[in-house]
Amino acid sequence: MAWRCTGKSNDELVSNLKASGIVKNPRVEQALRAVDRRFYCPEEPYIDSPGFIGSNATISAPHMHASALEHLEPYLQPGMHGLDVGSGSGYLAACMAELVGSQGTIVGIDHIDALVEASKHNLNRDKMSYLESGRVQLAVADGRQGYPFQAPYDCIHVGAACSERPNALINQLKAPGRMFAPVGSVFAQQIIQYDKAADGKVTETPLMEVRYVPLTDAAKQLG
């Protein structure tokens, strides 16, 4: 799937994602068009492939971000509250904020101080009002533990692979709520959709095989 949706501009990239059937929801399409990847990905932002953003971190390929938004959209309705674990450049947090609107909030966390500062810079160039209003809030935190200070969340996106079932994050979901997370070893990973029902029961739905960098501590990432 990588490279298939590559465009020469943000609009062309989104149009290709739509033509490929990855983007189906009009609200997701609008959010992707409203947040230009060039502010968040310093090199070749419209190539449908992961990109390096510094601190041994990557920004996910556009088709993966689009897929995440498609699956989380029911829990990114206006006024809702979401968490982006491993928020990196701040791109997906901005897209999520587009969906929850001015009455919603998105918390983005990353364990690398430099990435959090860079993501604030990116948002200040693209969506300054989101930071000023608190619609997007960015913090340094260990993604493996989530961000309990603002839990529970209607939805959680995880941008790096959990080595096992992420119970700490599941516990921070509202009931009902949904999480989109890569889970597995470096050799075999799947995106798992975790749905927490109103009674607290959690169901797991495997969506696709993937290869993500591991959700780890800052020292290991910086090497």
pLDDT by residue (tens digit) across 144-199?
999 999 999 999 999 999 999 999 999 999 999 999 999 998 888 999 999 999 99
pLDDT band for position 50 (cuts 50, 70, 90): very high
pTM, whole model, 2 decimals?
Answer: 0.95
Asked whether residue 2 carries a pLDDT value surpassing 70, the answer given is no
- 100-112: per-residue pLDDT in tens? 999 999 999 999 9
Query: How deeply is 21 buried, as exposed, middle or buried, from its count of CB atoms within 10 A (0-12, 13-18, 19+)?
Result: exposed
Residue 56: predicted pLDDT? 84
173-186 in b/e form (b: 16+ CB < 10 A) is bbeebbbbbbbbee
Residue 1: predicted pLDDT? 46
Give the CATH architecture of domain 71-222. 3-Layer(aba) Sandwich (3.40)
- For the chain, the structural domain boundaries read 71-222
- Residues assigned a catalytic role: 60
Q: What are phi and psi of 131, to 5 degrees?
A: -75, -45
CA torsion 126→131→137→141, rounded to 10°?
Answer: 70
pLDDT band for position 216 (cuts 50, 70, 90): confident
